[in-house]
A and B are shown apart, each in its own frame.
Chain A
Amino acid sequence: MTNYDIVIIGGGPAGMASAISACKNKDSKILLIERDQRLGGILNQCIHNGFGLQYFKEELTGPSYAQRFIELVKEKNIEVLLNTMVIDVSKEKIVTYLSPEKGMKSITAKAIIFSMGCRERTREALTIPGDRVAGIYTAGTAQYLLNIEGYMPGKEVVILGSGDIGLIMARRLTLEGAKVKAVFEIMDHPGGLRRNIVQCLEDYDIPLFLSHTVIKIIGKNRVEAVEVAEVDANKQIIESTKKIYSCDTLLLSVGLLPEIELFSKLNIEMDSCTKGPIINNFMETTLPKIYACGNVAYVHDLVDIVSFEGKIAGEDALKTYGSRDYYTVNSSKNITMVIPQRLVKNEYTYTIRYRVNKDYRKTRLILKNERGEVVYRANLNNLSSAEMHSFVLLENKISGNKLNLELEENLDEK
């Protein structure tokens, strides 16, 4: 069996960044496995711009952002397998893949980096009742059909969910001549970034209905209409608000889930908030030398962060180290997720990322230890639930071992 230093599963932005940083010299044996016919992952179908402002300090489209990394991968001594699907990974770090060129093959690795990205929630994840007909797409599938295959998936479109991909697709479909009738969001605030609400909906007069959801899909062979209703504060349907919208297409932009199935049998500890594995500040899972980075670790807003984290994972995967001691980070009270969940001791500084459950005008973020002592505190204004936030934590401020992040209620409501 061929033995690699590092096997990276997934050739999107996370996988490419980690492969590049792991490849320090020409002796290292690094394998990057990608299931599609080209590297780049989901960036290839994201032909809009807005990528790279943090990483490259300039605004790029998805494919051009990907291309910069593809060029770097080519320059380095990285073995790349395209059209290749990993079908099994064992605890002993044996990776079995299936590929048109190499067939079914098992290899071993000293370190594995999982970077398979995420998948979209489907209609079923929301259990929208109604007919099972053609014309129901996740926003990403519609994006692939339009941007990669060059086909229009619909003429009259209703979008459920105001996630960024849905917003981007509302604009894209409109530019292609489709009528996007409305975007419905069950929450009382948009799911996507503010800039996308403005640039993709408001600029094109596409209405966004908050606290609304699709309650039924109607059609015989293809979608003919959807039934929509407003929901109350408990997300219960308000019967009197039911309304039928005729359309031939329903796009779902209702959230993303890390694609963790490949390693589900490895008994890596998982985080029920991120739906991904528990990771440390080097993106390492609870199994030594097994890493998760990019959207398989947790769903990101910005590819730039993915690239930064991939780099960290690649560097750490090369290192040899003894046993690691940890601080743990949990969250409660208005914090919906925190990353990383474990901090390797003696690293001086840590970047802590988190999401909050709703929009806050004026609030206070508090990190406490197991004794209730405040380790970090920050007063914050205009904290949005649509974006991930972060702060830098200095190790010399940390006392105790078990940290917990929480957020106070809106201070001006008190």
Chain B
Amino acid sequence: MKKYDVLIIGAGIIGCSLAYELAKYDLEIAVLEKTSYVASGATKANSAMLHEGLSTKPGTLRAKFVKNSRKLLTEVMDKLHVPYKEGIGLITVAFNEQELELLKKQRDDALENGLDARILSKEETLKLEPNINSGIIGAFYSKSVSVIGPYELCIALAENASYNKTDFYFNEEVISVEKYQNRVIKVKTKQNEYQAKIYINAAGLYSDTVASFVEDIDFRIQPRKGEYFLYDKKYGSTVSHVISVLGNGKSKGMIVLPTIHGNLLAGSSAVSIDDKEDKGTTKETLDMIYQEAISKMIPSLSRTEGVITCFAGLRASEVNEDYIIGKAKTVKNFINVAGIQSPGLSSCIAIARYVIELCKQTQEVELWNIKNNYIAENPPYKRIVELNEDEANDLIRKNADYGEIICRCELVTKGEIIDAIHSIIPATSIDAIKRKLRCGMGRCQGGFCLERIIKIIHEETGIDMVEIRKDCVGSNYLIKPSKGGDKSHD
């Protein structure tokens, strides 16, 4: 059995940032992920926003890592061609004097933390954002807020790690660890065992469970559910900044923002729950978000018209609301990176670099030499429909599949889907292709392309049609061939 230098459990934004940073070194790295692809947990369902610690409590790890994190992350995103909109700015609106006072305090705090911030008058605000409720009396403004593609970032990090020889194993859920004296010697999944010198627990929602395989722990992940509305691209230009409202006791501050893909994202609630698998939306919460945030900020938006999906994400927050980053108490070679919640997306690279220092301190791996043939950049990627006619035709002449649109809403070609299936991190589930290429994220939500993508995966991989899944085991779409069905696929 191959013995890795470092084994990472979890391929979310933290696991993939770790893989990306570790892959710079001449080490053998592996990542275990229980779902079918990267970015399957909190990384795929969040506010897709970067900020430098607006409203993070001073003195916490959350505040520590976010500070100066932006430059680090921006450099990485540029190298890996991750889409982001830098500094689109945040506008938090006030509807009364009391709220305006709170916002003034927020401005003072931000200035004290070295961030840019100011108060806008009602007129200034409405000039910047004419669709905002004219009932506001003023707003807080900070330019340093950006929007990004969170799963694009995670995929790019993972792909770069893969180009640099990191092994990713999907559908591998860690179910136990084996220790010998004061070391972890292997982790076991349902199917396999993996050995490494250092193990890093980046299992997100389940990081407490994984940590408890090693020792008694004194932290607990309490999922916090956030539900969102996503509006059609038709509504993407309703606002051009991240717009937010203050919480009112029942809810935390909620936002409406233009995504990097041109949609409008609105949310989110923040409800602590117990069931880590409860990723469902609820009518009550969605109604609340619509009333307290969406219609309050942007009265012209409808509860149903233009809504292409609603979804929920679970933040892996620790009960004490801070990060748990550090070596396990009773073993030498196991590091927990748990409780990573907002602003975890902003801080991911900073956290990863810190964890590498912890890895070095364990002295389990002796040599930390930079790889000779390290690949710093991912190949640039442009969607076919974004190419000009000459560029597109060059490609299509070589491979006609680039001329065949499969996802009609997001205009994704068969050639791009085949590339994703055979890419360095193969996307062979429907959710993986969705995250990699946006197939099925448009207004028809896969109504036209699902069946065609199932067939392409089948043709390219040989996986039986009925075995093709949305994501994990059990999420199959097709039951069996029909009575008169074409059995040639069998």
Known: A104-B403, A124-B309. A222 touches B479 (CB 8 A): no
* B444 close to A119 (CB less than 8 A): yes
Known: A124-B309, A221-B474. A100 touches B234 (CB 8 A): no
Give me 21 A-to-B residue pairs in the complex whose CB atoms sit less than 8 angstroms apart, sorted by A's number: A83-B404, A87-B405, A98-B396, A98-B404, A103-B389, A106-B389, A122-B444, A122-B447, A127-B307, A129-B280, A130-B280, A132-B280, A133-B470, A138-B447, A146-B485, A148-B451, A177-B483, A216-B280, A221-B469, A222-B470, A264-B234
Question: Apart from A124-B445, A127-B310, A261-B409, what are 14 other A-B pairs with CB-CB below 8 Å?
Answer: A100-B400, A103-B392, A124-B308, A127-B304, A131-B280, A134-B475, A134-B476, A138-B447, A149-B451, A149-B454, A149-B465, A176-B483, A215-B283, A222-B474
Closest 3 CB pairs of A and B: A150-B485, A221-B474, A100-B400
Is A220 interfacial (CB-CB < 8 Å)?
yes
* A100 close to B385 (CB less than 8 A): no
Taken residue by residue from 426 to 463, chain B's Cβ proximity to chain A (1 for < 8 Å, 0 otherwise) reads as: 00001000000000000111111011001100000000
Bound Cα distance from A248 to B316, whole angstroms: 29
* A217 close to B451 (CB less than 8 A): no
Measured between C-beta atoms, what is the minimum distance from B447 to chain A in Å?
5
Taken residue by residue from 234 to 250, chain B's Cβ proximity to chain A (1 for < 8 Å, 0 otherwise) reads as: 10000000000000000
Contacts of B296 in A (CB 8 A): none
* B280 close to A217 (CB less than 8 A): yes
**Partner pick for B477 among A119, A138, A153, CB 8 A cutoff:** A153
* B279 close to A131 (CB less than 8 A): yes
Contacts of A134 in B (CB 8 A): 430, 469-470, 475-477
Known: A101-B403, A221-B475. A132 touches B279 (CB 8 A): yes
Is B262 interfacial (CB-CB < 8 Å)?
no
Bound Cα distance from A218 to B409, whole angstroms: 27
Measured between C-beta atoms, what is the minimum distance from B63 to chain A in Å?
33
Is B484 interfacial (CB-CB < 8 Å)?
yes
CB nearest to B394 among chain A residues = A103
Taken residue by residue from 114 to 157, chain A's Cβ proximity to chain B (1 for < 8 Å, 0 otherwise) reads as: 00000110111111011111110110110011101111111100
Contacts of A318 in B (CB 8 A): none
**Partner pick for A98 among B277, B384, B482, CB 8 A cutoff:** B384
Interface residues of A in 218-274 (CB under 8 A from B): 218, 220-222, 248, 261, 264
Contacts of A149 in B (CB 8 A): 451, 454-455, 465, 485-486
* B472 close to A221 (CB less than 8 A): yes
Bound Cα distance from A138 to B258, whole angstroms: 28
Bound Cα distance from A291 to B171, whole angstroms: 51
Contacts of B286 in A (CB 8 A): 127, 129
**Partner pick for A141 among B401, B403, B405, B451, CB 8 A cutoff:** B451
* A103 close to B465 (CB less than 8 A): no
**Partner pick for A129 among B277, B281, B476, B484, CB 8 A cutoff:** B281
* A140 close to B447 (CB less than 8 A): yes
Known: A100-B396, A129-B280. A151 touches B447 (CB 8 A): no
**Partner pick for A103 among B282, B393, B476, B487, CB 8 A cutoff:** B393
**Partner pick for A176 among B387, B478, B482, CB 8 A cutoff:** B482
* B474 close to A151 (CB less than 8 A): no
Contacts of B299 in A (CB 8 A): none
* B389 close to A104 (CB less than 8 A): yes
Measured between C-beta atoms, what is the minimum distance from B272 to chain A in Å?
18
Measured between C-beta atoms, what is the minimum distance from B27 to chain A in Å?
35
* B451 close to A152 (CB less than 8 A): no
Bound Cα distance from A216 to B489, whole angstroms: 35
Is B411 interfacial (CB-CB < 8 Å)?
yes
Contacts of A138 in B (CB 8 A): 447
Is B480 interfacial (CB-CB < 8 Å)?
yes
Contacts of A124 in B (CB 8 A): 307-310, 445
Which residues from chain B sit less than 8 Å from chain A, CB to CB? 234, 277, 279-283, 286, 303-304, 307-311, 384-385, 387, 389, 392-393, 396-397, 400-405, 408-409, 411, 413, 430, 443-448, 450-451, 454-455, 465-466, 469-487, 489
Bound Cα distance from A174 to B269, whole angstroms: 41
Bound Cα distance from A129 to B404, whole angstroms: 34
Bound Cα distance from A134 to B385, whole angstroms: 29
Measured between C-beta atoms, what is the minimum distance from B153 to chain A in Å?
22
* B481 close to A151 (CB less than 8 A): yes
Which residues from chain A sit less than 8 Å from chain B, CB to CB? 35, 83, 85, 87, 96, 98-106, 119-120, 122-127, 129-135, 137-138, 140-141, 144-146, 148-155, 176-177, 215-218, 220-222, 248, 261, 264
Contacts of B402 in A (CB 8 A): 100
Measured between C-beta atoms, what is the minimum distance from A4 to chain B in Å?
18
Measured between C-beta atoms, what is the minimum distance from B314 to chain A in Å?
12
* B283 close to A129 (CB less than 8 A): yes
* B479 close to A104 (CB less than 8 A): no
Contacts of B389 in A (CB 8 A): 96, 103-106
* B479 close to A152 (CB less than 8 A): yes
Contacts of A103 in B (CB 8 A): 389, 392-393, 396-397, 403
* B472 close to A150 (CB less than 8 A): no
Bound Cα distance from A150 to B283, whole angstroms: 36
* A151 close to B482 (CB less than 8 A): yes
Measured between C-beta atoms, what is the minimum distance from B165 to chain A in Å?
32
Contacts of B282 in A (CB 8 A): 129-130, 216
Bound Cα distance from A102 to B403, whole angstroms: 8
Contacts of B413 in A (CB 8 A): 98
Contacts of B476 in A (CB 8 A): 134, 222
Measured between C-beta atoms, what is the minimum distance from A5 to chain B in Å?
23
Measured between C-beta atoms, what is the minimum distance from B127 to chain A in Å?
26
* B310 close to A221 (CB less than 8 A): no
* B400 close to A101 (CB less than 8 A): yes
Known: A127-B310, A129-B281. A222 touches B475 (CB 8 A): yes
* B396 close to A104 (CB less than 8 A): yes
Measured between C-beta atoms, what is the minimum distance from B88 to chain A in Å?
23
Bound Cα distance from A148 to B450, whole angstroms: 13
* A261 close to B443 (CB less than 8 A): yes
Contacts of B304 in A (CB 8 A): 125-127
Measured between C-beta atoms, what is the minimum distance from B241 to chain A in Å?
24
Contacts of B404 in A (CB 8 A): 83, 85, 98-100
* A151 close to B466 (CB less than 8 A): yes
* B405 close to A35 (CB less than 8 A): yes
Known: A98-B385, A129-B286, A130-B280. A135 touches B477 (CB 8 A): yes
Bound Cα distance from A148 to B486, whole angstroms: 9
Contacts of A106 in B (CB 8 A): 389
Known: A98-B413, A103-B403. A145 touches B478 (CB 8 A): yes
**Partner pick for B478 among A85, A123, A148, A151, CB 8 A cutoff:** A151
* B401 close to A100 (CB less than 8 A): yes
Known: A85-B408, A129-B281, A222-B476. A151 touches B465 (CB 8 A): yes
* B234 close to A98 (CB less than 8 A): no
Measured between C-beta atoms, what is the minimum distance from B433 to chain A in Å?
14
* B281 close to A125 (CB less than 8 A): no
